[in-house]
Structure 1
Amino acid sequence: MAVRRTSSVVAIAAFFFLFCFCSVSHSKQEQSHHPLNKSSSSSSFSLSFPLKSHALPHHKLKPLRSSLTAASAVAVKAPFKYSMVPVVSLPIGTPPQTQDMILDTGSQLSWIQCHDKAKKKSPSADAAGQPSSSTTTFDPSLSSSFSVLPCNHPLCKPRTPDFSLPTSCDQNRLCHYSYFYADGTLAEGNLVREKFTFSRTQITAPLILGCATSSGDDKGILGMNLGRLSFPSQAKVSKFSYCVPARAARYGPSPTGSLYLGDNPNSGTFQYVALMTFFQGQSQRMPNLDPLAYTVPMQGIRIGSRRLSIPPTVFRPDTGGSGQTMIDSGSEFTYLVDEAYDKVREEVVRLVGPRMKKGYVYGGMADMCFDGDAAAIGRSIGDMAFEFEKGAEIVVAKEKVLAEVDGGVHCVAIGRSSMLSAASNIIGNFHQQDLWVEFDLANHRVGFGRADCSRS
């Protein structure tokens, strides 16, 4: 959720409100097979799925945290609504049960709800005409493709390169995992295999998922990072993209954005930035690095027409991994290391300092906050831009610089990383509103394109 993270080997885990930890690995046999079964006569096409918003209560704020061939490329489109986190509803199982999952590019292992936390709705037909249960939780007994991993399975080893905490065998000799959250809550269950059933002709092979029998929330996680157990890695999806719609008015309807798995018809307008890549041995020598995150070489930050005097090295990982800059759909705010945050705050104080709410710190890490006319304050601050190589940039319009946080208070949606005991930069989903973000895994790059996400 944005709010969660599933990597436990890196110190960056402290960033995330629902950062999770588990200990599993993917066998070579699992990696070798091609999970998307497609009709040989099909070319590129899209499927849409309904989405709904998920607002996080303030006490649970997450401080933000394909091998398809050209002839048979698959583009799956799913809309999502935005409140605090992007939530996509996906059909899982046989017959499919629609599950709400938080789209999180900072998580690896996907997991679904498998307990009776909320009342299930009656079965209905999905977009493809197949029976589908629109449920908050997944009922394994209704799916013919569901299976549970025994604790002697290769994926249930005590320790693996990707995770530092061991899995365990439960009383039924099944592989048990636990996600520990920074707020003290826990999500745990069994590792299972299950299919994503997008249509009659687009069904993945069984993927490794977590089946949570106990958790502190009513949504699952769609883990989309670079790990071997992430959804893109297991489903052999070489490209995916999403468009986060602008926030709705406090009492207005939530607009709907989009998630594409596969080709995006809008990609001709995108600006691309090469992803930074890391090797396992390298990351072991860099304790503050998350090697599975989508790391980008940011060059600088601009407010209005002024480029702030921040050395580009502040946005790059140093010898210990500090300074890494990542794109994260699961984090709400953007987070900056002290050297960058101080420069941003200095400029905001120069522009609108007298109007700042003195002594107010939101969530323990954001202190550029205001009472009063947010629109006027935004105009005084101006547009903000995160700059990358070759002229690529993420431009945040002045109307979207401030986030309403509590009781009419508005804050610049940037937090200080050090207040979270972390040492990285994270570009969160607040600063991805009305922006296509494409992760082109085959070409090791990320693309950005302006959009009206509610119409894309």
Structure 2
Amino acid sequence: MASTCLFLTQFLLIFPVAMASSSPPLILSLLKSTVPNKLTFRRNVSLTVAVAVGSPPQTATMVLDTGSELSWLRCNAAVTTSASASFNPHVSITYRPITCSAPTCTTRTRDLTLPASCDKNRLCHVILSYADASSVEGTLATDGFRLGGSPVQTGAVFGCMESGSSSNPVEDARTTGLMGMNRGQLSFVSQMGFPKFSYCISPRDSPGVLILGAAELPWLPPLNYTPLVQVPPAAAALPYFDRVAYTVRLQGITVAGKLLPIPESVLEPDHTGAGQTMIDSGTQFTFLIGAAYAALRSEFLKQTAGILRPLAEPNFVFQGTMDLCFRIEMRSAAAARLPSVGLVFGGAEMKVAGEKLLYRVAGETRGPDGVYCLTFGNSDLLGVEAYVIGHHHQQDLWMEFDLAKSRVGLAEVGCDSASQRLGL
């Protein structure tokens, strides 16, 4: 594999104040950065937003992640410049570390795979671990957060992380932390009180849109909604089920309209909760449980015979999970002839077509051909017992996360056009 490369694509964030719907939207800068590496389940494609934290305010660049709950900042007491990718808690007069005897320290969250503990100063010590084997640890704390010209959100709980290990040091060097956006009580969107948020991601080097609050735009097409899967609090223990993720019910997978013969039992969580379907902006590609991936792989290979030339290298597996790859001289010419893949939910369908189906592997060539892989991976190889719908397949879709009504809405929208209509 070639050495890691980095490129940036500018996005724009429209941010209406949650409790004042009549207020004009606040426009912030949101960046999309891509850093390919060998194992990149989390944060390889990052939507980042600038946030002012503390008093006096320090600018923090936070990764927007719908798959995480607790927000955190990389903390460094030696920071003396606003250009640093770290937050200095000691210069903020509103920073308050949380003690290990405080109720917040004992709150159970999705991200805390290890229980919070006491450090030598009797402060609440937390460790967050992610599926790409990265982790961060530090002190649970509160401080004020401000986005654009919005009112300061005082007393927001976050992790002030002082150490950790990373699978993506290049990306981490550009960001101050992570903004958890799932449905957990400690997530940023829950603490800020937004009833919904939505985004539209452009597949090209052009602006996209993110709106926190209600997107009342007359030109938006009707959204197709699918309900979030709800598990009653009194239900039996489900050790592998994430109760605060944006979980939807996957009813089937199609290739060129043909429904794949996948048993219903494979598409639904089992008695342990393994096998749920989650929408995660912190993941780049889409991962399917082994049996479903095998069915998709077989049918896609069959329907593209004569269109695509298989790589025919059994030991080549992109990112450790994608083993269906091809030799292609010009992707655009082949993309128009590819069969679409549909992810069918109750009330909605996500269609993946054209260039979104194939991803070029950086630095890999075979003569005049580039190496392209199907943008669906095998979650069994990833070590994650779930279906995960990634950022790549959400491009040119208006994605709405409605927390108030427990549903996700989507519709095909040209994100470039949406940006232009909003005057961005």
TM-score norm. by structure 2 comes to 0.81
Q: Confirm whether residue 229 of structure 1 aligns to residue 213 of structure 2.
A: no
In structure 2, how many angstroms separate the alpha carbons of the residues matched to 1:387 and 1:182?
26
Superposition misfits of 4+ residues, deviation over 4 angstroms: 36-39, 161-164, 181-185
Q: Confirm whether residue 383 of structure 1 aligns to residue 340 of structure 2.
A: yes
Q: Give the gaps of 5 or more residues in structure 2.
A: 1-16, 167-171, 364-369, 420-424
State the Cα distance separating 1:166 from its structure 2 match: 2.0
Greater share of residues in strand: 2
Give the equivalent residue in structure 1 for 2:10.
none
Question: 1:184–1:269: structure 2 CA closer, same or farther, 3 Å change rule?
Answer: closer
Question: 1:261–1:304: structure 2 CA closer, same or farther, 3 Å change rule?
Answer: same
Q: Confirm whether residue 273 of structure 1 aligns to residue 234 of structure 2.
A: no
State the Cα distance separating 1:134 from its structure 2 match: 5.3
Contact kept in structure 1, 2:55 and 2:93, CA below 8 Å: yes
Q: Give the gaps of 5 or more residues in structure 1.
A: 1-35, 66-82, 122-132, 249-253
Contact kept in structure 1, 2:360 and 2:371, CA below 8 Å: yes
Structure 1 residue aligned with 2:38, among 59, 81, 100? 59
Whichever residue aligns with residue 272 of structure 1, its letter is: Y
Give the equivalent residue in structure 2 for 1:99.
60
Q: Confirm whether residue 317 of structure 1 aligns to residue 269 of structure 2.
A: yes
Between 1:174-183 and 1:327-336, the stretch displaced more is 174-183
Question: 1:37–1:352: structure 2 CA closer, same or farther, 3 Å change rule?
Answer: closer
In structure 1, how many angstroms separate the alpha carbons of the residues matched to 2:342 and 2:131?
30
In structure 2, how many angstroms separate the alpha carbons of the residues matched to 1:344 and 1:165?
36
Give the equivalent residue in structure 2 for 1:302.
254
Structure 1, residues 136-158: CA drift from partner, whole Å, max 9, x if none? 2222234332211122212223x
In structure 1, how many angstroms separate the alpha carbons of the residues matched to 2:18 and 2:50?
20
Between 1:294-303 and 1:332-341, the stretch displaced more is 294-303
State the Cα distance separating 1:376 from its structure 2 match: 3.6
Structure 1, residues 421-447: CA drift from partner, whole Å, max 9, x if none? 332111111100111211111111101
In structure 1, how many angstroms separate the alpha carbons of the residues matched to 2:302 and 2:246?
33
State the Cα distance separating 1:201 from its structure 2 match: 5.2
Give the equivalent residue in structure 1 for 2:158.
209
Q: Confirm whether residue 356 of structure 1 aligns to residue 317 of structure 2.
A: no
In structure 1, how many angstroms separate the alpha carbons of the residues matched to 2:300 and 2:311?
12
Q: Confirm whether residue 153 of structure 1 aligns to residue 102 of structure 2.
A: yes
In structure 1, how many angstroms separate the alpha carbons of the residues matched to 2:233 and 2:161?
29
Q: Confirm whether residue 241 of structure 1 aligns to residue 220 of structure 2.
A: no
Q: Confirm whether residue 431 of structure 1 aligns to residue 393 of structure 2.
A: yes
Question: 1:104–1:411: structure 2 CA closer, same or farther, 3 Å change rule?
Answer: same
Supply the RMSD in Å over aligned alpha carbons.
2.6
Question: 1:393–1:334: structure 2 CA closer, same or farther, 3 Å change rule?
Answer: same
Q: Confirm whether residue 136 of structure 1 aligns to residue 85 of structure 2.
A: yes
Question: 1:414–1:371: structure 2 CA closer, same or farther, 3 Å change rule?
Answer: same
In structure 2, how many angstroms separate the alpha carbons of the residues matched to 1:255 and 1:264?
21
How many pairs does the alignment contain?
380
In structure 1, how many angstroms separate the alpha carbons of the residues matched to 2:294 and 2:38?
26
Question: 1:94–1:434: structure 2 CA closer, same or farther, 3 Å change rule?
Answer: farther
After the TM superposition, which residues 153-192 of structure 1 pair with which residues of structure 2 at under 5 Å, given as runs?
153-157=102-106, 160=108, 162=110, 163-181=112-130, 184-192=133-141
Structure 1 residue aligned with 2:211, among 252, 260, 264? 260
In structure 2, how many angstroms separate the alpha carbons of the residues matched to 1:338 and 1:104?
25
Question: 1:258–1:139: structure 2 CA closer, same or farther, 3 Å change rule?
Answer: farther
Give the equivalent residue in structure 2 for 1:111.
72
After the TM superposition, which residues 40-55 of structure 1 pair with which residues of structure 2 at under 5 Å, given as runs?
43-55=22-34
Which secondary structure state, in structure 2, belongs to the residue aligned with residue 48 of structure 1? Answer: strand
State the Cα distance separating 1:276 from its structure 2 match: 0.9
